Amino acid sequence: MDSPFGLLAELTYSCPLSCPYCSNPLNLAGYRDELTTAEWQRVLTDAQELGVLQCHLSGGEPLLRRDLVQIVNSANELGLYTNLVTSALGLSRRRAEQLRAAGLDHVQISIQADEPVDSDRIAGTPSFERKIEAARVVKELGWPLTVNVVLHRQNIDKVAEILGLAEELEADRLELANTQYYGWAWRNRDALLPSTAQLERAETVVRAARLRLEGRMDVIYVLPDYYSRYPKPCMGGWGKRQLTVAPNGDVLPCPAAQALPLPRASVRENSLAWIWADSPLFRRFRGTDWMPDPCRSCDRREIDFGGCRCQAFQLTGDAARTDPVCHLSPDHGIVTEAVQAANEGERPDDGALVPRPHRGRAV
């Protein structure tokens, strides 16, 4: 067992956006009893003592926490590298300067599309211009800037324009991440899953851009699981390198694990060290001993660790099954059927979306 390298601190699930691909849990009301400032400071201290080096401050929208500057300052004093994962709504120049003084190291801003109409429609609220303004403030204050765009059927055909926008903003890094189908994205899968032709066009554009922008901007392109021959390793292995702390103190091996029927682990009840090393939740799928065939006898078992436990549960109802994305899975037909449906000729590329409900304090 390795020490955890990264902590995803989900400070709140409140958010001014209502993105239809949001990976936050469907039961948002169950997370209103958020950790206090002092509790988060204790979590950060325990994480640093466990060996965590990077702290990603996320949500929801972390800027809705009035104590965000205090939390950043505490992480900085512990020597943690801090990354703010934000919609940028609420990132005024004054707030940005406060976070800079507190020691924030990096800012990642989500953008939903390359222009206001589509971006605001997908985000569920007018936000594009405020995001662009905030991105410029980030660069003016000397932070490294990552632009994150979740790709799906309704924006993937504009990937060239998205690359152009990131270049205009002088982003240091662009993450083009195809949608992962958990939470609200699962409810919207039929309207979000791209076609094979869309993916092929996008990959051609991204390959050319990587060559053109080499040395100026890193372009990360995350393939969609449903179109892969083998599944991705779950967070580099279940309980191996990463951990997530939810707003209410629940500790998870990955951000989507809330839905799994496994014993709960909370920093309000146990130490982070015990949860990481000994809790039934973190031990359940750690390593390879738990695996059924075909994973148990596969020479890739130490590469992809059987794939995503949350995806296996989402698609089959059994978190211990081989991830159906894998072409060797006995359940692979579930994924094949979804891909076939996404490639039906009459399917629109702007279908209706079920928005994630707004839940948040005023920014």
Residues that constitute the known binding site: 15, 19, 22
The three-class DSSP label of residue 38 is: helix
Helices H, strands E: what count in the chain? 14, 9
Q: What is the DSSP letter of 250?
A: B
Pairing of the two strands 54-58 and 6-10? parallel
CA distance linking residue 13 with residue 34, whole number of Å: 9
Q: What are the b/e assignments for 151-178, b being 16+ CB within 10 Å?
A: bbbbbbbbbbebbebbbebebbbbbbbb
Residue with tokens 């799994």: 260
| Nearest residue to 6 (alpha-carbon basis) of 61, 105, 82 | 82
Q: Which residues are annotated as a binding site for [4Fe-4S] cluster?
A: 15, 19, 22
Q: Find out whether the peptide bond into 355 is cis, omega within 30 degrees of 0.
A: no
Which residue type, as a one-letter code, is found at position 74?
Answer: S
Q: What are the b/e assignments for 245-259, b being 16+ CB within 10 Å?
A: bbbbbbbbbbbbbbb
Write out the DSSP string of 40-79.
HHHHHHHHHHHT--EEEEESS-GGG-TTHHHHHHHHHHTT
Q: What is the token pair recorded at 69?
A: 């500057």
Non-local CB neighbours of 176 within 8 Å, separated by 6+ positions: 149, 151, 159, 162, 202, 206, 219, 220, 221, 222
Pairing of the two strands 251-252 and 242-245? antiparallel
| Nearest residue to 316 (alpha-carbon basis) of 261, 360, 276, 267 | 261
Q: What is the DSSP letter of 33?
A: S
